[in-house]
């Protein structure tokens, strides 16, 4: 037989694209359209309905950036269309090939009922099936003219990312708004041909199935009447039935399709627009559920549900009905799909607490899995946190974006730092916006790493980010691929069902231990530093407000614990931990609003803490310690004078000098407190840090060396640091001044000022305090660089085989060498409050109050010694998607801690982030709880969420070893329970005769205790 494949493939493509697809709508009549441009921000339906509309012609430009245009559309179904399926078809002037992040609209009835959204790949609204003919149709359409921020494929900066700079030039040209007949036979033929053609092109040239499909399509096209596509469509479909009905191979891979509409809670649009995106997409989804009984839609992010509940009650009612019918699956159990690295441990716990409670309260459903397809790496505490929140499985897709190494598994057990394991799946289709194309199905099978051990994978399908979610076309593809020779089999089902089947099929799945590090998007640990600082500060202010509110509730008659206010503030912080806000990868508008929100949160939390302390009475000035560790350090009195105080963990003490330690001396550029001696060079670097206790020099070279690198990644500016950034740099060694600014027996400080770059200025105050080996470097930067990153280096004279970085509820060790490509790929990593390096008998920690990104490397010197260098990433200057990212003022502190153990790093990390608070109080209430036992660290103290008055304490083992100890209460204790994160009892905890709760923790174990008051 002659090879006719090219002729057939080209013939089929042309007939499909130019004749079949164009005949899907058999006839159209235009709507009569009027328009009203809403001034400023979006308005409620009632205001739009009462507005004055002007005639609007097709082909007219509309929509300034971030604008809202309301269209009134009127029309009538022709009498002759009786018995046909009639739809409204609206093209707002869609552009490009990305269905999200551009124009989209929500269609309403005239009474305000939302019907369905209009999106680039989902332009129809059902009118009647069948029509009676003569129906009058009238809609009010709320159209959003959102700009396509990445239209130039990340190659150009744009002012469109903020309404303040976007201008008012119309972005779109309205193409058409019609009432149309959907020719169902032609529509189905279109899908038949698409599925077969795509399958054919994916099959191997020597696979007999490929020519079988080709010749079947060729013969079928002979039956297509080009002058009457509609009339000939049934015959063409009949000719294709045999090739469409051939069953899949018995060993064919099974793809579990789950409807999905990944909607970033903010990214290339502000939060206000996400509220509308959710309503549009969810309207589409509930409409599709009415049309397809076998449709299942999985949706995470309780925050988005709450937005719809509060702003679109009719859409919310439809969601509730779909959940009741089993077609809508709440998943994920988190308030938002948060970043996987940067939120603190307690914040990750609260993501689950608030998310799971929402789904239980409103749907009676407890979600079983963690749904995080798009976060930028996942911390190694997740398995334990997820399991303690009642989860059984974990899903993500993002690790497939690795720049260097291919992850070896798709289905596996993920083991966290404490030994907890959770069943995990990475969809091999490598997308969370699948549409069941032939290429996607082939890729899923080709990629799948578990061949021979398992035979199924999951595929989230639907257009995301405002693209409209799943469509009827995708559902039809799934039906055709349910059992089709040459393809994987598709079954649409709930993700819980997939995970149950996958786990049963693959009980001996492999194990991955430790973090899921994404070898990409490493700059998200640093970009938009003020957003990150707002998060860090908010997390610690929340801890502080909860502790002192609990103290007041226990000891101050008449004080009421502020449950509702704390709940609202927590949710605000959790929202801004979304994986494109906290990582710094959103437009300027998002980060401008985030900074304002963090400032508001700080004011409210400071007020709540002040109210709680005031409730304890007034009379003497006291110092309050929110840290879980006893503190002996210098604090400033209200008049600014330094005072050396000793304050118990989670308690208070009078503002009065404790027994003073050896004083600080300042001699020239040398600070000495008897514990450390710090010498500042003429260029402002640290020329020497001597640990006087250990009688050894800490530094192997200049300390606090500020290095300015050129930083232009290959593609994703705000997201990425690529390895070549290290190759070009300038060391900042020209200090404009080095000045002693404080010389007191309790505090010595030297200020270093530098000018550099494009008008940037950095002022650093190097401070040594009596009684502490910690050397603080308070930093104030006025930053005006572009495409640069500023790092601070501490080359330490230790031979450290690994570094330890704090993560949620513990720390993770990473090799300092690069023996393998996996180790080499971790050239930029994340950590929380501290990084520790050490050799047997000696260690050093670098502490920070708002920095996450860092790198650790080591070199061998000519004298044979080893230098291990910790470098903090301080600030970046990417230009896409926010061309002014990080410009302006930054204030933060980092510190060097010589002679530090991991325990010291933990304690000083809390101390730097939880400054002692000075306030008036009448007495000295006992700490709510206190602990004994090394490694036992209290993370949160609060009243129970059910308003029972029980005290809830969350603690963990922080050293990485076993811990034994006791917990004592500052109130009469009637009993104690061990609970899950949602404060539900797991088992009774013992209470000793003296009222103490014995504790025994495995390495990094998290323990939540519910304490009943006597």
**What residues are labeled active site?**
374
SS3 968: strand
SS3 983: coil
Distance, in Å, from the CA atom of 468 to the CA atom of 934, rounded to the nearest integer, reads: 53
- What is the 3-class SS of 570-626, one letter each residue? HHHHHHCCECCCCCCCCCHHHHHHHHHHHHHHHHHHHHHHHHHHHHCCCCEEEEECC
Phi first, then psi: what are they for 914, rounded to 5°?
A: -125, 75
Quote the tokens at residue 555: 């000891």
Instruction: Please report where in the chains the tokens 């290339």 appear, as a residue.
Output: 268
Tell me if 45 sits within 8 A of 112, measured CB to CB: yes
- Other residues' Cβ atoms within 10 Å of the Cβ of residue 364: 9
Q: Are strands 620-624 and 652-654 parallel, antiparallel or unpaired?
A: antiparallel
567-572: which pairs have CB atoms within 8 A and are 24 or more residues apart?
567/354, 567/945, 569/538, 569/542, 569/545, 569/601, 569/604, 569/605, 570/350, 570/354, 570/542, 571/303, 571/335, 571/354, 572/597, 572/601
Which stretch of DSSP H or E encloses residue 38?
strand 32-38
DSSP letter at 675 equals S
Alpha carbon dihedral 282, 284, 286, 289, in 10-degree steps, equals -140
Tell me if 281 sits within 8 A of 517, measured CB to CB: no
Report CA-CA distances (Å) from 842 to 155, 678, 854, 872: 48, 18, 21, 21
DSSP letter at 727 equals G
**Chain-centre distance for alpha carbon 334:** 11
Alpha carbon dihedral 664, 666, 671, 676, in 10-degree steps, equals -40
- Other residues' Cβ atoms within 10 Å of the Cβ of residue 47: 12
Q: What angle do CA 570, 574, 575 make, to 5 degrees?
A: 120
DSSP letter at 241 equals H
């Amino acid at each position: 037989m002659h090879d006719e494949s090219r002729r057939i493939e080209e013939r089929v493509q042309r007939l499909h694209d130019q004749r079949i697809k164009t005949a899907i709508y058999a006839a159209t009549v235009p709507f009569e359209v009027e328009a009203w441009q809403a001034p400023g921000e979006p308005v409620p339906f009632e205001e739009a309905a009462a507005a004055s509309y002007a005639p609007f012609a097709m082909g007219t430009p509309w929509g300034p950036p971030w604008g809202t245009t309301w269209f009134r559309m009127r029309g009538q179904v022709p009498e002759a269309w009786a018995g046909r399926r009639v739809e409204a078809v609206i093209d707002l002037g869609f552009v490009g090939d990305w269905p999200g992040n551009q124009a989209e609209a929500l269609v309403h009835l005239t009474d305000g009922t939302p019907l369905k959204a209009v999106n680039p790949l989902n332009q129809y609204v059902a009118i009647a099936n069948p029509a009676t003919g003569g129906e009058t149709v009238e809609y009010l359409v709320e159209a959003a003219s959102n700009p396509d921020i990445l239209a130039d494929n990340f190659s150009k900066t744009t002012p469109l990312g903020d309404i303040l700079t976007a201008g008012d030039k119309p972005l779109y040209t309205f193409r058409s708004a019609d009432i149309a007949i959907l020719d169902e036979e032609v529509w189905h033929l279109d899908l038949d041909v698409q599925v077969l053609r795509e399958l054919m092109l994916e099959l191997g040239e020597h696979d007999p199935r490929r020519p079988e499909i080709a010749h079947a399509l060729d013969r079928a096209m002979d039956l297509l009447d080009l002058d009457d596509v509609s009339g000939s469509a049934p015959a063409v479909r009949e000719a294709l039935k045999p090739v469409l009905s051939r069953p899949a191979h018995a060993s064919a891979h099974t793809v579990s399709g789950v409807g999905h509409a990944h909607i970033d809670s903010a990214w290339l649009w502000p939060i206000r627009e996400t509220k509308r995106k959710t309503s549009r997409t969810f309207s589409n989804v509930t409409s599709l559920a009415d049309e397809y009984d076998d449709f299942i839609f999985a949706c995470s992010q309780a925050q988005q549900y709450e937005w719809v509940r509060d702003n679109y009650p009719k859409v919310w009612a439809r969601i509730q009905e779909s959940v009741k019918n089993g077609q809508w699956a709440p998943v994920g159990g988190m308030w938002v799909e948060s970043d996987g690295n940067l939120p603190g441990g307690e914040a990750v716990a609260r993501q689950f607490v608030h998310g799971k409670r929402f789904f239980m309260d409103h749907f009676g459903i407890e979600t079983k899995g963690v749904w995080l397809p798009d976060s930028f790496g996942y911390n190694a505490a997740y398995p334990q946190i997820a399991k303690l929140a009642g989860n059984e499985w974990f899903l993500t897709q993002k690790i497939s974006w690795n720049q260097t190494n291919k992850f070896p598994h798709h289905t596996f057990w993920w083991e966290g730092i404490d030994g907890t394991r959770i069943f995990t799946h990475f969809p091999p289709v490598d997308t969370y916006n699948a549409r069941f194309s032939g290429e996607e199905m082939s890729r899923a099978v080709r990629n799948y790493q578990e061949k021979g051990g398992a035979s199924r994978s999951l595929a989230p399908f639907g257009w995301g980010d405002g693209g409209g979610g799943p469509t009827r076309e995708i559902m039809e593809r799934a039906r055709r691929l349910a059992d089709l020779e040459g393809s994987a089999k598709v079954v649409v089902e709930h993700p819980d069902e997939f995970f149950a089947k996958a786990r049963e099929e693959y009980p001996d799945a492999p194990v991955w231990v430790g973090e899921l590090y994404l070898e990409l998007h490493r700059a998200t640990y640093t970009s938009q530093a003020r957003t990150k600082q707002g998060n860090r500060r908010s997390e610690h202010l929340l801890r502080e407000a909860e502790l002192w509110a609990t103290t007041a509730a226990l000891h101050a008659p008449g004080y009421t614990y502020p449950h509702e206010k704390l709940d609202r503030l927590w949710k605000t912080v959790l929202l801004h931990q979304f994986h494109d806000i906290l990582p710094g990868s959103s437009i300027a508008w998002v980060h401008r609003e985030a900074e304002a929100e963090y400032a508001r949160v700080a004011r409210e939390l400071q007020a709540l803490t002040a109210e709680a302390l005031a409730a304890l009475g007034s009379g003497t000035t006291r110092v309050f310690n929110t840290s879980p560790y006893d503190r002996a350090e210098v604090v400033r009195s209200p008049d600014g004078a330094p005072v050396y105080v000793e304050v118990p963990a989670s308690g208070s003490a009078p503002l009065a000098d404790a027994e003073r330690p050896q004083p600080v001396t300042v001699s020239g550029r040398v600070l000495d407190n008897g514990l450390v001696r710090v010498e500042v060079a003429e260029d402002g670097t640290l020329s020497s840090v001597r640990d006087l206790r250990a009688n050894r020099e800490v530094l192997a070279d200049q300390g606090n060396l500020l290095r300015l690198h050129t930083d232009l990644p290959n593609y994703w500016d705000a997201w990425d640091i690529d390895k070549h950034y290290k190759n070009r740099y300038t060391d900042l060694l020209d200090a404009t001044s080095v000045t002693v600014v404080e010389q007191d027996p309790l505090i010595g400080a030297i200020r270093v000022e530098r000018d550099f770059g494009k008008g940037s200025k950095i002022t650093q105050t190097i401070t040594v305090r009596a009684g502490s080996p910690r050397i603080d470097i308070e930093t104030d930067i006025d930053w005006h660089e572009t495409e640069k990153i500023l790092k601070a280096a501490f080359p330490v004279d230790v031979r450290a085989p690994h570094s330890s970085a704090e993560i949620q509820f513990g720390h993770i060790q990473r090799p300092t060498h690069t023996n393998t490509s996996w180790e080499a790929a971790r050239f930029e990593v994340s950590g929380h409050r501290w990084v520790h390096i050490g050799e047997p008998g000696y260690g050093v920690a670098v502490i920070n109050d708002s920095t996450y990104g860092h790198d650790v490397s080591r070199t061998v010197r000519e004298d044979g010694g080893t230098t291990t260098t910790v470098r903090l990433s301080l600030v970046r200057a990417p230009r896409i998607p926010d061309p002014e990212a990080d410009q302006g003022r930054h204030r933060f502190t980092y510190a060097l801690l010589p002679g530090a153990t991991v325990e010291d790093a933990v304690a000083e990390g809390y101390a730097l982030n939880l400054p002692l608070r000075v306030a008036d109080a009448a007495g000295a209430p006992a700490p709510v709880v206190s602990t004994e036992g090394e490694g036992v660290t209290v993370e949160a103290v609060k009243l129970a969420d059910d308003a029972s008055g029980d005290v809830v304490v969350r603690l963990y083992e922080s050293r990485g070893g076993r811990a034994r100890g006791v917990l004592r209460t500052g109130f009469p204790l009637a009993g104690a329970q061990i609970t899950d994160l949602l404060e539900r009892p797991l088992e009774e905890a013992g209470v000793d005769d003296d009222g103490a709760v014995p504790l025994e923790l495995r390495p990094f174990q998290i323990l939540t205790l519910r304490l009943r008051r006597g």
